Structure 1
Amino acid sequence: MRCVVGDVHGDLSKARWALNLAGVLSSDGRDLWTGGETVLVQLGDILDRGEDEIAILSLLRSLDMQARLQGGAVFQVNGNHETMNVEGDYRYVDSGAFDECTDFLEYLNERNHNWEEAFIDWIAVSERYKENRGKSRNYWGPLNLVKRQRGVIARSVLLQPGGRLARELARHPIVLKVNDWVFCHGGLLPHHVGYGIERMNTDVSHWMKGEHEDDTAPFLPFIGTRGYDSVVWNRLYSKDTSDMADNQIDQIQGVLEETLQAIGAKAMVVGHTPQITGVNCEYNCSIWRIDVGMSSGVLDSRPEVLEIKGNKARAIRSHGEASSESQVLDYI
């Protein structure tokens, strides 16, 4: 079984809610994997608009380690907000996220710069750092500009190409294929497949790692990360078809079918564009759109996840305020 979670944008409580809804996270606060052999896919945009970005990344890595001991796995794909931050574009960074970067670097130093231990353990200690941050708010009051500068520097150290957090993100592809389903943040197009999926993933990974030949600057992989038709920015398949003419719908469906045929997949799952109506499918359910804007920094909506069993998929939706109550739609 596969479960897919969309954009969480730095909202740790909503991320936990979604993972619990997917049946892969314990509800006792211990952050234990309960998914057995389930394969979980998260579609990117963990960064920006919320203050617990590194904590969510830490949680997912911890869950992946636990899952693999049980025959499961956790996969992530990078979204446009991951690539923006590696580029140094901090327009959508929450002030608390700058603080988290400062705190995490302090914790990394306390752990003698043992990245693996510090990163995996961060989910267990981040709340304490946040509480301490709140207690020191009066101290920083007159010095907020200095505090902000510290946060920007810390973020740059972590996320510039070659930074430790950028190298962590480089572990994840921008396109993932599991059996005959393909997962990406924005949307895959025929010319992406023509360029080569592995080639794109490798380009982005090398760029994030800061790897380059000779003395040249790291190559920026435009086809994957830049432009309205790049993999992480494309919104073609997420448009509301109710506002389209029939010929436009037919054209988009043709592009989608060509892409899926070229990559040998039956369906694609994307995030990136919040769906007001919740998780849904279009074009004979060959595309699933699962970004529901759950983060408090976006729409603050109730989490929803996509569950895939065999050749069928269904949305699992939160009902009420508790993740223990859910509505499961029929398989399609």
Structure 2
Amino acid sequence: MVSLSFNSLSPPPSQNRKLSESAYVNGTLKPITIRGSPPTFVSAPGRRIIAVGDLHGDLTQTRSALEMAGVLSSDGPDSWIGGETVVVQLGDILDRGEDEIAILSLLRSLHIQAKSSGGAVFQVNGNHETMNVEGDFRYVDPGAFEECIDFVEYLEEHDQSWEQAFVGWIGVSERWKEDRRASQGHWNPWNLVQRQKGIVARSSLLKPGGPLSCELARHAVILKVDDWVFCHGGLLPHHVAYGIDKMNKEVSYWMQGLHENNDGPQIPFIATRGYDSVVWNRLYSRDTTDIDYSSWKISSILEETLQAVGAKRMVVGHTPQFNGANSKYNKKIWRIDVGMSSGVLHSRPEVLEIIDGKARVLRKIDDSTLSQAMDYL
């Protein structure tokens, strides 16, 4: 059954839904607990969960999605207003847009704020994060190269810790961009000197062991929150058999430029390369008419995967859904990449909301405060 509700000038409809009483102790929610480094298994009793798909460097759309979800203030500074909500962003923050580092900085800032309220912001890495750590810059927007130049100069000019500088970037990035454009004009694709400078800056930040790559290494490629599993492309039975915590550690070590045998970082193939790797897999996201597998076969693979990992549902991004976020295979897979970035489809922002195991899509209808909620019961 599908029901539609429209709400305005009031909190997001989710905030009025009753949470499970078992999540409380003495009238307060039980604390969030995390296992794994990077985080792999999260227990978040009673929390409202918001899942956000691919952002691809579009800061305006990112803010719009988070505001619609009721976790980001819409006036003034980028303030967390989500209380004990847990946000999971599904990767592909990099490429196709010009405000990549600003978005990463925003999410880290919000996570710090959320922790003080009993909430959290998690990220999983997607294929565009792993591509950039490999040095594959094919999909980098010219403005993103310029952001890298600005950010490197900002780090050099501010004698402070990485943590302070990185978290603070969201507050100054737009001013730096405006100042650069006022003094230099817009990016000139034929300015080979400037382009080379951008490539050098990006390489220094994102090579294995680089500061931005080490920041990405804080995040998993697979995250399990209660009974839900989140990943960019899709989890398969052989991934679970290999070990999701093991894969997360291997990707993190590689991004940090580390290796257990100290003979150079090894690219974790099963997680980051190949059509059936965790960040590239599209099995659950494409129409069955596009692939050789029948619907029942895919449903069987999905069920086997969920049973193996001990989850009831999976949420993925990676493949734009032209008709909006949706579910398939008896509501056990949710596909939430809607191509909201201006560098992709520039579609209206949508997020997935999960409360007490039930999910619905929140959709921005127009520039007003209205939102549309689709409940899947």
| TM-score, normalised with respect to structure 2 | 0.85
User: How far off is 1:321 after superposition?
Assistant: 3.1
Q: Which amino acid aligns with 1:321?
A: D
For 1:83 and 1:296, the matched residues in 2 are separated by 21
* 107, 112, 120: which one aligns with 1:65: 112
Q: Which amino acid aligns with 1:184?
A: C
| 1:15 has 2:53 as partner | no
For 1:36 and 1:78, the matched residues in 2 are separated by 25
For 1:75 and 1:8, the matched residues in 2 are separated by 14
Structure 1 residues 237-287: Cα deviation after superposition (integer angstroms, max 9, x where no partner): 001246679x71010000000000000000000000000110100000000
* 27, 51, 54: which one aligns with 2:98: 51
Change in 2 beyond 3 A, CA 1:112/1:143: farther
Q: Which amino acid aligns with 1:326?
A: S
Number of equivalences: 330
Q: Which runs of 4+ in 1 moved over 6 A?
A: 242-245
Structure 1 residues 216-255: Cα deviation after superposition (integer angstroms, max 9, x where no partner): 220110000000000000000001246679x710100000
Q: Is the 8 A contact 2:234 2:284 kept in 1?
A: yes
For 1:242 and 1:138, the matched residues in 2 are separated by 47
1:122-137 equivalence runs, <5 A = 122-137=169-184
1:30-109 equivalence runs, <5 A = 30-109=77-156
**Which residue does the alignment assign to 2:248?**
201
Q: Is the 8 A contact 2:143 2:187 kept in 1?
A: no
Structure 1 residues 39-86: Cα deviation after superposition (integer angstroms, max 9, x where no partner): 000000000000000000000000000000000000000000000000
**Which residue does the alignment assign to 1:163?**
210
Name the stretch that deviates more: 211-220 or 9-18.
211-220
For 2:64 and 2:78, the matched residues in 1 are separated by 11
- Give me the CA root mean square deviation: 1.6
User: How far off is 1:31 after superposition?
Assistant: 0.5
| 1:301 has 2:347 as partner | yes
Q: Which amino acid aligns with 2:314?
A: M
Name the stretch that deviates more: 74-83 or 135-144.
135-144
**Which residue does the alignment assign to 2:376?**
331
| 1:310 has 2:337 as partner | no
| 1:263 has 2:334 as partner | no
Which ranges of structure 2 fall in alignment gaps of 5 or more residues? 1-47
* 230, 233, 245: which one aligns with 1:186: 233
Structure 1 residues 99-144: Cα deviation after superposition (integer angstroms, max 9, x where no partner): 0001001111111152111100000000011001111224986982
User: How far off is 1:320 after superposition?
Assistant: 1.6
For 1:227 and 1:242, the matched residues in 2 are separated by 21
Partner of 2:363: helix, strand, or coil?
strand
Q: Is the 8 A contact 1:17 1:303 kept in 2?
A: yes
For 1:187 and 1:140, the matched residues in 2 are separated by 36
For 2:248 and 2:229, the matched residues in 1 are separated by 14
Structure 1 residues 182-241: Cα deviation after superposition (integer angstroms, max 9, x where no partner): 000000000000000000000000000000245522011000000000000000000124
Change in 2 beyond 3 A, CA 1:271/1:109: same
For 1:69 and 1:325, the matched residues in 2 are separated by 29
For 1:21 and 1:136, the matched residues in 2 are separated by 35
Change in 2 beyond 3 A, CA 1:12/1:140: closer
| TM-score, normalised with respect to structure 1 | 0.96
Q: What is the percent sequence identity of the aligned residues?
A: 67
For 2:224 and 2:79, the matched residues in 1 are separated by 26
Partner of 2:245: helix, strand, or coil?
helix
For 1:203 and 1:53, the matched residues in 2 are separated by 24
| 1:277 has 2:311 as partner | no
Partner of 1:182: helix, strand, or coil?
strand
Q: Is the 8 A contact 2:228 2:311 kept in 1?
A: yes
| 1:290 has 2:336 as partner | yes
Which ranges of structure 1 fall in alignment gaps of 5 or more residues? none
